[in-house]
Structure 1
Amino acid sequence: MRILLAEDERSLSRALVALLERSNYSADAVYDGEEALAYLEAGNYDALILDIMMPKVDGLTVLRRLREKGNPIPVLLLTAKSEVSDKVLGLDTGANDYLTKPFSTQELMARIRAMTRTQTGQVSSRITFGNITLDQATFELSSPTGSFRLANKEYQMMELLICNPRQLIPTERFLERIWGYDSDVELNVVWVYISYLRKKLTALHADIQIKVTRNAGYSLEGLS
């Protein structure tokens, strides 16, 4: 899952990106509202963490423009303001949730999980295909014979595959969703992580496989 963080406090931004990546999210950081709008226009994000007080374009204006365009991305507002009127304004403008600084990292992560779960209509954190289950809460890939806790990039790739079974996913889509549209990562890094996942599926005696379609992409298929 890719998250855009729009926060102009550089030290806080760095800490939040590190926290998100440790929690198996992919995070891009921007430092003003203008940049946030540009990234949202060009990128494919699953959620937005948006500071209200930002240079160039403030967070509420960013949020208003998104909603006017019909963009339904889940938005968590961050602000130093704690007045009820500010919270009401933020929610009425289209935010999904509101968090006042300072906040605990545990509460931030819980609110992100709740916000994205509501957005996707997700009832359970476990996704199953064949005899393989991916737990989105623990990042565990399991079968009746065992389990692995996936690393960040492995988890994000497996999540994309298992949420779209039997669908061909282009290599470029993995790069865009996981590394970011402006990343200079080489295409072959996708194959490296696919090979890690294939080895884990073999070790779990999976009855599904990651199929490679040369020069096209990858798909999760049942064993033929």
Structure 2
Amino acid sequence: MKILIVEDEKDMQQALCYGMRKSGYAVDAADNGQDAVELCEYNDYDLVILDLNLPGMDGLNVLKHIRDKNLPAKVLILSARCDISDKIEGLDGGASDYMTKPFHFKELEARVRVLLRRTFIQNEAALSRGGLYLDTNKKQASFKGMPIELSMREFSILEYLMMNMGRPVSAEELLEHVCDSEADPFSNQIKVYISTIRRKLAAFSDENIIKNIRGAGYVINKEDAEC
């Protein structure tokens, strides 16, 4: 999943980016409201973590822009503003959640997971089909109880395909949602990742779980759930 972190305090921004990337998310960052708005218009983010006290454009105006443009990203406000009136204004303005600083990163991480599950109409922390099982909290994959060793990026790709089970997902869409914006859109890195994931899954199952749909991308079919 792809996250935009909007935070003007440099140390805080770097810490958030490091923590979210370590948790397996693709992360972009902005330190002011105008850049945040431009990034949101250009990229398809799954979640925006938004500070309110920003130079130039205030965070609430960034939120208003996202909602006025009907952009699909969930917005989690992370701010030092702790008055109930600020929380109400943020939530009424279209924020999906509101956390105050100081905060515990583990709690932030948990709220991010909940919001992303809500984005994909996923109520449980686990994704499964046949013998394949993904624990989206622990970022662990297994097949019929046997662990599958995946890198964070490989897990993110498999997770995204399973969240969109039954729908072909293009390489461009995968690149948009699981890689940072600095990734080369003309590279074949998604193809390489898919090949590696298939090889690892083949050690546990003879089924070709990730299928190619010519001209459309990759799909994990719901009807293949029984293995």
Q: Structures share a fold, TM > 0.5?
A: yes
Letter in 2 for 1:136: T
Aligned length: 224
Pairing of 1:41-120 with structure 2 (within 5 A): 41-120=41-120
**What's the offset of the Cα at 1:101?**
1.4
Deviation digits for residues 116-157 of structure 1, max 9, x if unmatched? 333433221222223212221122222225122532110111
Q: Secondary structure at the match of 1:19?
A: helix
Deviates more, 1:2-11 or 1:162-171: 162-171
User: Cα distance 1:117–1:172, how it changes in 2: closer, same or farther (>3 A)?
Assistant: closer
Which is worse superposed, 91-100 or 64-73?
64-73
SS of the residue corresponding to residue 24 of structure 1 reads: coil
CA distance in 2, matches of 1:157, 1:80: 34
Are the structure 2 counterparts of residues 72 and 220 from structure 1 closer, same or farther at C-alpha, using a change threshold of 3 Å? closer
Q: TM-score, normalization: structure 1? A: 0.88
> Over residues 66-90 of structure 1, what are the superposed CA-to-partner deviations in whole Å (9 max), with x where a residue is unaligned?
2223334221112122222222221
Return structure 1 stretches of 4+ with deviation > 6 angstroms.
none
Structure 2: how far apart are the matches of 1:128 and 1:173? Answer: 22
SS at match of 1:66: helix
Distance 2:73 2:25 in 1: 16
Contact 2:44 2:73 in 1 (8 A): no
Local SS of the residue matching 2:112:
helix
Q: Which residue of 2 aligns with 1:210?
A: 210
Alignment of 1:52-201 (within 5 A): 52-144=52-144, 146-184=146-184, 187-201=187-201
Paired amino acid for 1:201: L
Contact 1:43-1:180 at 8 Å conserved across structures: no
Change (3 A) 1:164 1:208: farther
The sequence identity of aligned pairs, in percent, is 37
Unaligned runs of 5+ in 2: none
Q: Is 68-77 or 102-111 further displaced after alignment?
A: 68-77
1:4 lines up with 2:9 in the alignment: no
Given that 1:80 and 1:101 are in contact with CA atoms closer than 8 Å, whether structure 2 keeps it comes out as yes
The answer to which of 188-197 and 17-26 deviates more is 188-197
Residue type of the alignment partner of 2:154: E
More strand by share: 1
TM-score, normalisation: structure 2: 0.87
Asked if structure 2 preserves the Cα contact closer than 8 Å seen for 1:179 and 1:185, the reply is no
Taking structure 1 as reference, are residues 206 and 19 closer, same or farther at Cα in structure 2, changes over 3 Å only? Answer: farther
In structure 1, how many angstroms separate the alpha carbons of the residues matched to 2:169 and 2:64?
A: 32
Q: List per-residue Cα deviations over 1:42-67 (Å, max 9, x = no partner).
A: 11111110000111211000111222
CA 1:181–1:146: 2 relative to 1, 3 Å: same
- Whether the 8 Å contact between 1:67 and 1:94 is mirrored in structure 2 is yes
Q: 1:206 to 1:104 in 2, by over 3 A?
A: farther
**Does the CA-based 8 Å contact 1:145-1:205 persist in structure 2?**
no
